[in-house]
Structure 1
Amino acid sequence: MRFLGNIIWIICGGLLSAIGWWIVGLLWCCTVVGIPVGLQCFKLSSISLNPFGKEVVDEGGAVSLLLNILWICFSGIELALANALIGCFLCITIVGIPFGKQFFKIARVALFPFGTKVVRVHF
């Protein structure tokens, strides 16, 4: 069921979300200081491609808080708003609610990506 959900997910906007993460990651990697932020974007793009069967676990600290503040100022709001708007649009129909919930999960990660870890959930 997760496989089918992820295939439909890519069609319903997951690919656009992953492309957004990749573009932001490339922009951050243009500077030496931004390379760790860009690499985090590339890691988190994996949840944009197949979110079903994955959970987000918070493991933040002081350094994560500082990086999240910088992230929100430069890139986080745009990615979080885009994912939240797509999630709201998908929640209009009953069929789209599971996909909208996944976009809301990604929006939370897009707002605070540092100190989060994406883990696979085994049923």
Structure 2
Amino acid sequence: MRVRCRQIIHPAADIPVAEYDGIRVGSVYPVLEMVAYDIDCQIRVLGPGTPDPGLLWDTADFETVDTRIPPGWTLVIADGRTRLADARWQRPGFWTDYHHGDPQALADYAHVKRELLTDAPPHEN
């Protein structure tokens, strides 16, 4: 799945900007995961200058340009959240483990990221 950034509202200044943390308006990015809770839905995207593990963005700021769901992705509903992501990221505590430097979580993240970036066409402007 790939999306094009339509707008960026700077989180601190609440004004439109052309670029933020490696994401640029008009560019296309692979989606690393989708997370929904309550009425909020966000996607994790990773731009060329974005630090790992990418950033969560409001889906209202993007439009879909490639609707294909990557192989190995699963939909999990738990704890009031709905997550669409690679099955290796769906285990309870994955992101906590990742942020604490757990070797298995870091390896799973790196493997999935490599797969998604390999399957995605180059970053477009």
Q: State TM-score, norm by structure 1.
A: 0.29
The structure showing larger relative contact order (alpha-carbon pairs under 8 Å, at least 6 residues apart) is 1
More helix per residue: 1
Q: State TM-score, norm by structure 2.
A: 0.29
